[in-house]
Structure 1
Amino acid sequence: MAGYAMNKATLLIACLAFAGLSACSAGGSNAQQGPLAGARIGAPFTLTNQDGKAVTWDSFKGKYRLVYFGYTYCPDVCPVDLQKITQAFTAFEKQDPKRAARIQPIFITLDPQRDTVPVIKNYVAAFHPRLIGLTGTPDQIAKVAKDFAVVYTREGTGKDYLVSHSRTPYLFGPTGDPIALIPVGEGADSTPDAIVKTLDQWVK
């Protein structure tokens, strides 16, 4: 159904991104670095934040980056996922403020036509005061989505169209290298507590 995140696509894109790398296996030397270690996910970019300022991928250098792709008009998946992620981040802030301060949560829109700076600003403020929202031109967003192994497609016509997209929240390290997928979705393995455990495992 249009508007729902494409869970199967997540696994497919991840495996394609890992092609030929030991990170595809459950074991191997990359296990200590994270399951996404060595994957070709992420690249330099310049986008616009919720305050209308230019932001680059290097603007977050030295920070762990908790990155979620979606869009503000999403009727179901995006707000639920972001709520889980930000609830977990808030819990991690209480559990370990020092390590949490090293994490930057980031929301990147896949719907730049409607997700203007004011729209993004209002949206991210509803979830967490430290959540940064990023938008850009359609070409900029298309390149970022490709570089970050995110699949999305516009469904429908008119102003009420939906955007189907892969469900791929990532945790990146301080140098911008991918570490792990953040567990969202349904089930006991994708609760805020599960996300907290993921952060606790990989954020040093």
Structure 2
Amino acid sequence: MTVRPRSGRAGLAATLLLVLVIAGTAIALFARAPVRPYGMRAGAFDPPRAAPELDLRGSDGSKVTLTRYRGKVVLLTFGFTNCAAVCPTTLATLAQARAALGVDAKSVQVIFVTVDPERDDTARMREYLGAFDPSFIGATGSPEALANVRRAYGVTATREGAGADYAMRHTSSIFMIDGAGKLRALMPFGHDAADFVHDIPFLAGR
């Protein structure tokens, strides 16, 4: 169908009516359009999903489970104490973020799951993590238990080299879990403390 332009006032009125109809339709479409659920700097899971549970030994001498930390934001990271650069950088960043949060830091728990149970016992992790933040909890277990946790989170860990000085290549992102135990976001390695400070209130419901 061809629409022919009208002349004079009738044509102007018809044109204005058409503009208003188009504008109203656009507004209605934008109102229904999906929006990003969180204004986060980490990559958000949409929808959030239940975080796989942990059942490991803690560097504080107790069992490490996510249920234990209900009501807190959990920052879950994987690594090993002989790591040369990535793990110390991650832990230092998380320690800076907790320090910047002030009194709100008490609502955040960092859990460091080892990918190197052969060398990382609870005592070693307690000493290592204490140098960054005494509140950080290390988690270890049998190779099978740790492999199950990695599988549940899609984490990879590969041994590189031989002898006592071998290294571990592993996933370096930080899993961000809210107080209800929902996996809400994934922060890639390399983000600074300010990005965690920005995102943690979203997970805490503030």
**TM-score normalised to structure 2 length:** 0.75
Residues in 1 aligned to 2:83 and 2:93: alpha-carbon distance in whole angstroms: 15
Alignment-mate amino acid for residue 140 of structure 1: A
Contact 1:38 1:178 in 2 (8 A): no
Are 1:202 and 2:176 an aligned pair?
no
Unaligned runs of 5+ in 1: 1-26
Note if contact 2:72-2:204 (Cα within 8 Å) is conserved in structure 1.
Answer: no
Q: What is aligned with 1:3?
A: none
Match of 1:90 among 87, 99, 102: 99
TM-fit CA distance, 1:119: 0.6
* Deviation for aligned residue 1:57: 2.4
Identical-residue share of aligned pairs (%)? 32
Q: CA deviation at 1:203?
A: 2.3
Q: Say if 1:201 and 1:183 are closer, same or farther in 2 by CA, change over 3 A.
A: farther
C-alpha RMSD of matched pairs (Å): 2.1
Q: Does 1:38 align with 2:44?
A: no
Displacement of 1:183 after TM fit?
4.7
CA–CA distance in 2 between the matches of 1:138 and 1:53?
Answer: 18
Give unmatched runs, 5+ long, in structure 2. Answer: 1-32
Q: Please name the residue that 2:160 is paired with.
A: 155
Q: Which amino acid aligns with 1:146?
A: R
Matching of residues 58-97 of structure 1 within 5 Å: 58-92=67-101, 94=102, 97=103
Cα distance in 2 for partners of 1:195, 1:58 equals: 22
Query: What is the CA-CA distance between 1:125 and the residue it aligns to?
Result: 0.5
Q: Report the alpha carbon displacement of residue 140 of structure 1 after superposing the two structures with TM.
A: 0.8
What amino acid maps onto 1:162 in structure 2?
A
Which residue number in structure 1 is paired with residue 144 of structure 2? Answer: 139
Q: What is the SS of the residue equivalent to 1:196?
A: helix
Task: Tell me the amino acid that sits aligned with residue 148 of structure 1.
Answer: Y
Given that residues 77 and 113 in structure 2 are in contact (C-alpha distance below 8 angstroms), is that contact kept between their aligned partners in structure 1?
yes
TM-score (norm 1): 0.75
Question: Is the 1:65–1:172 Cα contact (8 Å) retained in structure 2?
Answer: yes
How far apart are the structure 1 equivalents of 2:65 and 2:80? 20
Aligned equivalents of 2:50, 2:84: Cα separation in 1:
27
Per-residue deviation at 1:154? 0.8
Q: 1:161-176 maps to which residues of 2 (within 5 A)?
A: 161-176=166-181
- Partner Cα distance (1:199, 1:146) in 2: 25
Relative to structure 1, is the Cα distance of residues 123 and 174 closer, same or farther in structure 2, using a 3 angstrom cutoff? same
1:98-128 deviations in Å (ceiling 9; x for gaps) = x432221111111111101111110110111
Equivalent position of 2:8 in the other structure: none
Contact preservation (8 Å) 1:82, 1:127: yes
**Looking at CA atoms only, which structure, 1 or 2, has the larger radius of gyration?**
2
Measure how far apart 1:33 and its partner are.
Answer: 9.2
Pairs aligned (count) = 170
Residue 156 of structure 1 and its aligned partner are, at CA, apart by: 1.4
CA displacement at 1:45 relative to structure 2: 2.3
